[in-house]
Structure 1
Amino acid sequence: MRRHLATAAALIAPSLAAAQQAGWGNLGKPVDKGFSWTDPLWPGFWMAWTPATLAFFLAIFAALAVLTVIEIRRPGGGERLGVLGLVTTRGDRLFITLLGASYIFMAWLALFGQPVWWPLAISLGWGVFCFWKV
């Protein structure tokens, strides 16, 4: 039995040395991987703020700021009767857009998983439709 182990070790040792020279010895070393949408911005912070969550919240706040400026310039909410048969204001259309986008993303993740670039495009199209026809 010992003879077989010694023979196996003698056969494996050169291949291990070749793997070490080919770069397999660097597996445990940290690698600078650059930008990532899922790495935390502030490690150790109480909330896991990633670039994706920051972009999401900034987009929501920007939409609310734009609606505020529009409301100051043209008061009244821009009421109209849309294809759903509802009288909606700009705020209602934003809410319907955000609600629909969340359902689009959840359905996409349930059916297809990652990546989520396609549901982003579909949600933007839904938003254009909502502000145009609803």
Structure 2
Amino acid sequence: MRKLLLLFPLIPSTAFAQAQAGWGNVGQQEDKGFSWTDPLWPDFWMAWTPATLAVFVGIFSAIALIGVLEVVKFRDGIERRGVLGLTTTLGDRLFITLLGSAYIFLAWLGIVGQPVWTPLFLAMGWGVFVFWKV
């Protein structure tokens, strides 16, 4: 009984905390900041989030960079025979990098799940390996 009397002064503070941050705020809108998973255009047919936009901009920028390098600097295409025994150009190596990176991410998500920081670094290492040795 004494222990209950010692807890008695805490009861009003618990009720006050419940009123401030508890069920009283259930139906109210929260102010949200930036989110990588919120759609940029809610009524568009595809859910373009900032993350998907960044991925597609990165892929198309890499393709454009390889195209500019092939046209301006390396007109003959820098063909070489690498570790896999394939004769590849810069575009071939970019394609192998993107394909391998997709498989790395899918395997990671299937086996481990999130977060995806580790497969990001694995995919970057794969890209360096492909452009260096393949």
Report if TM-score (shorter chain) is over 0.5.
yes
Match of 2:21 among 20, 23, 29: 23
Q: What residue ranges of structure 1 are gaps of 5+ in the alignment? A: 1-13
Corresponding position of 1:116: 116
The number of residue pairs the alignment matches comes to: 121
Corresponding residue for residue 97 of structure 1: 97
SS in 1 for 2:35: coil
Return the offset for 1:18: 3.5
1:71 and 2:94 equivalent?
A: no
**TM-score normalised by the chain length of structure 2:** 0.83
Encode CA deviations 1:4-42: one digit per residue, 9 max, x unaligned: xxxxxxxxxx79944543321113212123111111011
Structure 1 stretches of at least 4 aligned residues deviating more than 4 Å after TM superposition: 14-17
Query: Structure 2: any 5+ residue segments left out of the alignment?
Result: 1-11
SS at match of 2:46: coil
- Give the Cα separation in 1 of the matches to 2:19 and 2:102: 50
CA–CA distance in structure 2, aligned partners of residues 28 and 118 of structure 1: 38
Alpha-carbon distance between aligned partners in 2 of 1:28 and 1:109, rounded to the nearest angstrom: 35
Tell me by how many angstroms 1:85 deviates.
1.1
Distance in 2 separating the partners of 1:27 and 1:113? 31
- What is the aligned partner in structure 1 of residue 6 from structure 2? none
Q: Deviations over 1:42-71 (max 9, x none)?
A: 111111000111001100110011011101
Aligned-pair identity in percent equals 66
CA–CA separation in structure 2 for the residues paired with 1:82 and 1:120: 24
**SS in structure 2 of the partner of residue 66 of structure 1:** helix
Residue in 1 that maps onto 2:8: none
Tell me the TM-score normalized by structure 1.
0.83
